Structure 1
Amino acid sequence: MTVAPKAVVLGGRTGLLGQALVADLTRAGWQVEAHGREDADVHDSAALEKYICSHAPDVLFNAVAYTQVDKAEEEQDAAMRLNKSLPALLGRLACTGNMHLVHYSTDFVFNGRKETPYTEDDETAPQSIYGLSKLAGEQVLLQMNLPRLTIIRSSWLFGPGRGNFVQTILGLCETRQEITVVHDQVGSPTYTPDLAAGSRLLVEKGGTGLFHLSNGGQATWCELAAEAVSLAQKPCQVRPIPSAAYPQRATRPAYSVLDCSRFTGITGIKPRPWIQALREYIFQHVGVAGQEAG
């Protein structure tokens, strides 16, 4: 009889991706420990190390990150602490504890000046503190030469369990007849249950190194919003605007579509289109009323 793998998911109690990972791993028969802040503060290195080592996982998923993109511009130390220093600590623990570490990064490591999907081998050039901090986390882990390390870059996350762009848009439509959304940023929307399942498959297939993983296809923020509004049957107009009309402190990549060929080569799975994933989210977790179930 095969013993089920043991996993610790940092951020598994309340995080958008963490909750999806816990749900997927549990369905797949893994032994899963969903970490929450009350278990061990990720800012307390000693407590976190004690917590992780006490569970002795086969796989450690790091779904914790500083993700407040604009706020990071004035909170660089806080962003670096979670996005670089924490991965460095986890890398050391993974090495000494013989764990497989799965760490998540972002499309913001790119400058957005390409016109074709970014591969894992493309040059990085972050345009924001958030992007810089996430790239620093990647680099510190890769420099450790861990025998079992998987870094997954993803983008534009939406899914059940926590606030996200799609939920925000549908909430705005409850009180407005028209909303404006930028149309000149193009990326890869990613459904967190699909990202979680793909992450598990990579581990099960022995995939190590750097991977891109998002849903198939591409969209602008405006296209994603309009599709969500249509599916949820909201009587609300979605009007496109340029990024210049919605100034933000941090620079976003104008184009950050991810090429997931390396993931497909390892798993044999081609990620489904984002529109299919969005339908599942709207119909199963949000519904036409536009309110998240649960």
Structure 2
Amino acid sequence: MTVFEGSKVVVLGGESGLLGQALMNALQHAGANTVGTCRASLDPMDNDALTAFLEREEPRIVFNTVAHTQVDAAESEPDLSQRLNTTLPERLGKHSLEMGFLLVHFSTDFVFNGQNEQAYTEEESAEPLSVYGKTKHRGECRLLEMNLERVLIIRTAWLFGPGRDNFVSKMLRLAQTRDTLSVVHDQTGSPTYTPDLAKHTLQLVESGATGLFHIVNSGQASWCELAAETVRVAGLDCRVEAINADQYPVKAARPTNSQLSTEKFTMVTGVTPRPWTQALRDYVYTDLSEELPGD
């Protein structure tokens, strides 16, 4: 019997979020009594409503996937980014302390400045470049400063998966209508399949781990390499050309290299995440099969 079987579990953002939906599916398969939310059913910034919801549900575990993830928009909306990425996790930490549930909070590779040549470990200093990265890092810090006994912070990156539009699905859609795609090649990270992330998150919870961990699929890629592999796997006749980031100007600064090391996760669980290229094939061939052109 797992820690999830028969347990009441809340997934904030579970009804509509990319990661939230994957967690809901994994938890349901694990036998959890799972309750998901979306912005329409619960305003996470209404603290009275959040408190009443948690007191009513009495969860054993709360997964927080709610965040302001629009990196460029966050530059113009720092207050909203602060409320969702910093204030909300802090409030959840206080509720965890009062109610005794395990809080699993998700963070990002964008807490790093991207100057490393190797993958970042959990022990390395964060130095975010953007409003998004800074507010997510402050959310981490607030939780860690509270010295909670039951908190798990998971940094992840470059998510793709079923249930919501993402970089891979957008590239696939564009490649069906264009001869050429120009994609940034001088930013490298860790592409991550949300069903794999959800599975590994549950494994980490099962291990009894607390504190800060990285979970991503194995391997690395630039945005251009991820797009090119997507097009190749889908069998589409579209050329993917590499461009530098300065040829595609955006509001928010991005880390040049934001690869995340999963060695700590593997040491605790004994599990090594599979390569992102394998996960991508599952996503394209299974999750997106209806969107591919017929023979």
TM-score by length of 1: 0.97
Q: 2:234 aligns with which of 210, 216, 232?
A: 232
Aligned-pair identity in percent equals 51
Distance in 2 (CA, whole Å) between partners of 1:171 and 1:53 is 43
Residue in 1 that maps onto 2:74: 72
Secondary structure of the 1:167 match is helix
Q: 2:224 aligns with which of 218, 222, 225?
A: 222
Distance in 2 (CA, whole Å) between partners of 1:205 and 1:101 is 15
Q: 1:8 aligns with which of 2, 7, 10?
A: 10
Residue in 2 that maps onto 1:183: 185
User: How far off its partner does 1:175 sit?
Assistant: 1.8
Q: 1:202 aligns with which of 201, 204, 222?
A: 204
Matched, 1:262 2:246: no
User: How far off its partner does 1:233 sit?
Assistant: 1.3
Residue in 1 that maps onto 2:23: 21
Q: 1:166 aligns with which of 147, 158, 168?
A: 168
Q: Aligned AA for 2:227?
A: A
Report if the CA contact (8 A) 1:232-1:289 is conserved.
no
User: How far off its partner does 1:288 sit?
Assistant: 7.1
Residue in 2 that maps onto 1:115: 117
Residue in 1 that maps onto 2:244: 242
Residue in 2 that maps onto 1:50: 52
Q: Aligned AA for 2:247?
A: A
Distance in 2 (CA, whole Å) between partners of 1:126 and 1:263 is 23
User: How far off its partner does 1:242 sit?
Assistant: 0.5
Q: CA RMSD in A?
A: 1.3
Residue in 1 that maps onto 2:104: 102
Distance in 2 (CA, whole Å) between partners of 1:288 and 1:224 is 21
Secondary structure of the 2:52 match is helix
Residue in 2 that maps onto 1:286: 288
Question: Across the two proteins, how many residue pairs are aligned to each other?
Answer: 291
Secondary structure of the 2:120 match is coil
Distance in 2 (CA, whole Å) between partners of 1:234 and 1:52 is 47
Distance in 2 (CA, whole Å) between partners of 1:252 and 1:121 is 21
Distance in 1 (CA, whole Å) between partners of 2:14 and 2:108 is 19
Secondary structure of the 1:37 match is coil
Secondary structure of the 1:121 match is coil
Distance in 2 (CA, whole Å) between partners of 1:132 and 1:40 is 25
Distance in 2 (CA, whole Å) between partners of 1:225 and 1:8 is 34
Deviations 1:204-247 (A, max 9, x none): 11010000010000000000000001111111111110101101
Report if the CA contact (8 A) 1:282-1:288 is conserved.
no
User: How far off its partner does 1:37 sit?
Assistant: 2.3
Q: Aligned AA for 1:146?
A: L
Q: Aligned AA for 1:203?
A: V
Matched, 1:91 2:73: no
Secondary structure of the 1:7 match is strand
User: How far off its partner does 1:74 sit?
Assistant: 1.2
User: How far off its partner does 1:43 sit?
Assistant: 2.0
Report if the CA contact (8 A) 1:232-1:288 is conserved.
no
Distance in 2 (CA, whole Å) between partners of 1:259 and 1:184 is 19
Q: 2:275 aligns with which of 268, 273, 286?
A: 273
User: How far off its partner does 1:36 sit?
Assistant: 2.1
Secondary structure of the 1:179 match is strand
Q: Aligned AA for 2:276?
A: W
Secondary structure of the 1:70 match is helix
Distance in 2 (CA, whole Å) between partners of 1:289 and 1:234 is 12
TM-score by length of 2: 0.96
Residue in 2 that maps onto 1:35: 37
Q: Aligned AA for 1:114?
A: N
Extract structure 1 runs of 4+ deviating beyond 6 A. none
Distance in 1 (CA, whole Å) between partners of 2:147 and 2:56 is 24
